Structure 1
Amino acid sequence: MLLWPSVSHSLTVQEVPNPQQQYGGWVTDMAGVLSEETEQTLNQKISDLEAQNGTEIAVVTVRDTASEATPKAFATRLFNYWGVGKAEVNNGVLWLHSVGDRRIEIETGYGIENILPDAEVGEMINEVIIPEFREDNFDAGTLAGVEALITVLSEEEFQVSVNRPGDASSSVSDGFAEMENRGDFWIAAFVGWVASVLGYGTIYLNPREGSRCNL
C-alpha cells in the first residue's frame, strides 16, 4: 500500500480575486463568513464613498495567510499588488480578515495616515469590531468597522498633490489595477495595522512596533 504525502496549498496574494476586476465591487469573501446582504451593503457604502471623494476601501476575508511570513506581510503585499486607492493622493484602505489566523489587518495609504492615525483605528478595532468578532458575528463586526472608517473618511476631500520625496505614491494605481514585480521596497510606503488575535482579545499599542497593534 503506497502512502502519498498530502500537499496543503497556501493561498497566495495573486490568487485572491480582485473584486474590481471580477464584478466592479469592493468585497472578496474567500473565507465565506459574510452574508450576501452584508456584501451588498458594503459594496454600496464603499461605492458611495468613492463617488464622493475617490476613497477606495477593499474588504477581503481569507482562511489563512500562510503563503507569507505574517498576516501583516500578506495584507501589505495584497495592498500593493492591487494598487488600492488613487495614485495621486494615496487614499486607499485594505481591510483583511484572516479567519484561521484570527487576525484583522487594516492597511492605509499615505494620503490618509493623518486622517486615520494609529490610535483612532485602534479604538475602532477594540471598541467596534472585537466585541462582535468574539461572538463570531463577522457580518456585524465587519459592517460596523467599515462604517466607522467611512464616517471618518467621508469628512475629507482629497486633492491631487505632488508626491512626497521617498514615498510610494507612484506605486498605487486607480481601481485596484494589478501591478506586479513590486518588491518589498514599497512596503514601507503604507501604514500597517495588525490585530493578532487569541479570541480577538484586547488591543495594546506598542510604540516600538509603529503601526502594528496586537490584540
Structure 2
Amino acid sequence: MRLLATFVAIVVSLILSDIGWAEVPGIVTGSRPQARVIDETGTLSAADSAEIERLARSIQETTKADMMVVVIPTTAGESHRRFATDLFNRWQLGDAARNDGLLLFVALADRKSEIILGDGLDSPGQRSASQRIMDQVMVPHFRAGRPGRAILDGATRAVTDIVGVSAEQPAAADIPPVPASTSASLVEKRPEPILQPLVEPSSPATPTPVPTEDVLRPEPIAPAQPWIPPTRFQRAPETTSDPVGMMILLGGGAAAGAGGIAAFRSLYRYRRRGCPHCGTAMILLAEGEDDTRLERGERLEEHLGSVDYDVWTCPVCPGVEKVRWGALFTRYAKCPRCRSVTKSQTISRLRAPTQVSEGLERIDERCLHCGWEKTSERTIPRLPEPTNSSVDWSSGSSSGGFSSSSGGFSSSSSGGHSSGGGASGSW
C-alpha cells in the first residue's frame, strides 16, 4: 500500500510539472498585462471572462477604480497573502492618489483565494464585506466544484459590495446615443422642484394665496438678540472660565465622589451588627485573630490583597458571621475551579503585528491556590496604515521574486498601493 501511494505521488508530481502547475506562471512575474482577467488554468469560460472584463471597465469608467482577476495554479510554496499583495503592488493597481485598486487572486491547485484591497478601499466596512464575499460566496462554490462560478460571483459581489457600483450598470461606451430630438423629452421627465411650500386651501373655489414677498423676505431679528459683527471684526470673547481651573474642579469633584463612596462603604462595613441568634451586639475580630476562622484560600486572598474578610463573633452565644469584601482594584481574577480570587495572568508576545499580517500573543493563566493552569493564544490586530504615502518600493519584495526594477516599473510610477487588507479563503 505504501509503494502504491508513493507511485501515485510521483505520477501526480510528474503530471503537474509537465503542465506547469508546479511553477509560478511567467505572466505574473513580468509587467502588468493589458487584460483585466488573467486565467492561467483555463477555469473561466469565454463568457465569464468577458463579463468580468465588462465589470472592470464599468467601475473604471464610473468610479475610476481598478480591478483585476488573476487565476494561477500555485504560488510554488510562497505565502498566498504575501504573494497577492506583492503582485498588487508590483502591478500598482489603482490610482496613486486614490489607492482604489482591487485584486481577486486565486491559486487553484493550492485551494487558496485572496481579495486584496488598495489602501483607499481598505476601510473596516469594506474589509468586512470582503470577508463576507469570501466566506458566503466564493468558498461555497469552490467546495461544490464550481470554480468558474466562484470567481465570477466573487467579482460581481466585489463590484457591488466593495466598490459600490451596480453590477447591472452598463459601461458608458455601451450606452447608445440619444437623438437630439428626443433627448430633451427624456431628460425633462423628472418633476420640477417645488420652490414654495404647499398651503392647504380653505375651500376649492378660493385657494389661500401665498405672497411671494413673504416667502422671499428674511425673518426679522428678534429684539432680544444683540447684533453680531462679522467674524473678522469680532474680538475674543471674554470669559471667566479657566480651563486649568475647570480641570482641577472636575478632578476634585471626581476625587470627592470616590472619597464619598469609600466613606459610605466604610460606614456600612463597620456598622453595628446584631447576632442573628440572640440579637446581642457582635464583636469584630482583629486582623490577626480572624485568620484562625478563615480557610486556606481565604487567607491567601487576604495575603494577595484581592479580598478582605471581616469575622464577627457573638460574646454570648457561639454565633459567628464572616463577611467578604472584594478589593475595588486587583490584578487577580476568580479561579474557575476553586472560585478563589487567586488567578494570575501573564501575556507574552510571540509575533509582533505589521501592516500586512496580524500578531500573536500567548496568555498563561495560573491559580496560586489550587494550581489550575491554562495556556491560550490570541491574535493582535494589524497595525494601521501609515499617514503618508511616501513608501519606497525601489528595493522590491523578497517574496515571489518580485522587484520594482523588472518589467519597467519604478518607485516613481503613478500606480496605487496596498498594505495587504482584504480577505482570505481556502477550501
**What TM-score comes out, normalization by structure 1 length?**
0.69
CA contact (8 A) 2:75 2:107 kept: yes
Matches within 5 A, 1:46-125: 46-66=56-76, 68=78, 70-114=79-123, 116-125=125-134
Q: Tell me which amino acid in the other structure corresponds to 2:27.
A: E
Match 2:141 to one of 132, 146, 151: 132
For 2:124 and 2:155, locate their aligned partners in 1 and report how far apart those are by CA, in whole Å.
Answer: 15
For 1:169 and 1:155, locate their aligned partners in 2 and report how far apart those are by CA, in whole Å.
Answer: 30
1:121-171 Cα shifts (integer Å, max 9, x gaps): 111111111221112212211111111111131359xxxxxxx63446786
Q: In the alignment, what sits opposite 1:165?
A: 387
Q: Tell me which amino acid in the other structure corresponds to 1:10.
A: E
For 1:99 and 1:149, locate their aligned partners in 2 and report how far apart those are by CA, in whole Å.
Answer: 19
Structure 1: 5+ residue runs without aligned partners?
A: 1-5, 157-163, 172-176, 201-215
CA distance 1:57–1:17, change in 2 (3 Å): farther
Give the Å deviation of 1:59: 0.0
CA contact (8 A) 2:92 2:417 kept: no
For 2:59 and 2:114, locate their aligned partners in 1 and report how far apart those are by CA, in whole Å.
Answer: 21
Higher helix proportion (structure 1 or 2): 1
Match 2:24 to one of 4, 7, 11: 11
CA distance 1:178–1:79, change in 2 (3 Å): farther
Q: In the alignment, what sits opposite 1:160?
A: none
1:4-37 Cα shifts (integer Å, max 9, x gaps): xx8x56216x63287963xx43100012111111
Structure 2: 5+ residue runs without aligned partners?
A: 1-13, 167-385, 394-406
For 2:60 and 2:124, locate their aligned partners in 1 and report how far apart those are by CA, in whole Å.
Answer: 16
Q: Tell me which amino acid in the other structure corresponds to 1:16.
A: V
For 2:28 and 2:98, locate their aligned partners in 1 and report how far apart those are by CA, in whole Å.
Answer: 25
For 1:138 and 1:44, locate their aligned partners in 2 and report how far apart those are by CA, in whole Å.
Answer: 19
For 1:116 and 1:18, locate their aligned partners in 2 and report how far apart those are by CA, in whole Å.
Answer: 33
Give the percent of matched residue pairs that are identical in Structure 1 and Structure 2.
Answer: 22
CA contact (8 A) 1:11 1:67 kept: no
Three-state SS of the structure 2 residue aligned to 1:110 is: coil
1:25-73 Cα shifts (integer Å, max 9, x gaps): 31000121111110001001110111001111110000000163x1111
Give the Å deviation of 1:192: 4.5
For the pair shown, the structure with the greater C-alpha radius of gyration is 2
1:88-137 Cα shifts (integer Å, max 9, x gaps): 10000111100111001111111011275332211111111122111221
**What TM-score comes out, normalization by structure 2 length?**
0.36
Q: In the alignment, what sits opposite 1:41?
A: 51
CA contact (8 A) 2:134 2:424 kept: no
For 1:139 and 1:124, locate their aligned partners in 2 and report how far apart those are by CA, in whole Å.
Answer: 15
For 2:95 and 2:417, locate their aligned partners in 1 and report how far apart those are by CA, in whole Å.
Answer: 17
Q: Tell me which amino acid in the other structure corresponds to 1:89.
A: R
For 1:193 and 1:168, locate their aligned partners in 2 and report how far apart those are by CA, in whole Å.
Answer: 25
CA distance 1:168–1:10, change in 2 (3 Å): farther
CA distance 1:188–1:131, change in 2 (3 Å): closer
For 2:409 and 2:124, locate their aligned partners in 1 and report how far apart those are by CA, in whole Å.
Answer: 26
For 1:32 and 1:10, locate their aligned partners in 2 and report how far apart those are by CA, in whole Å.
Answer: 16
CA distance 1:88–1:181, change in 2 (3 Å): closer
Q: In the alignment, what sits opposite 1:189?
A: 419
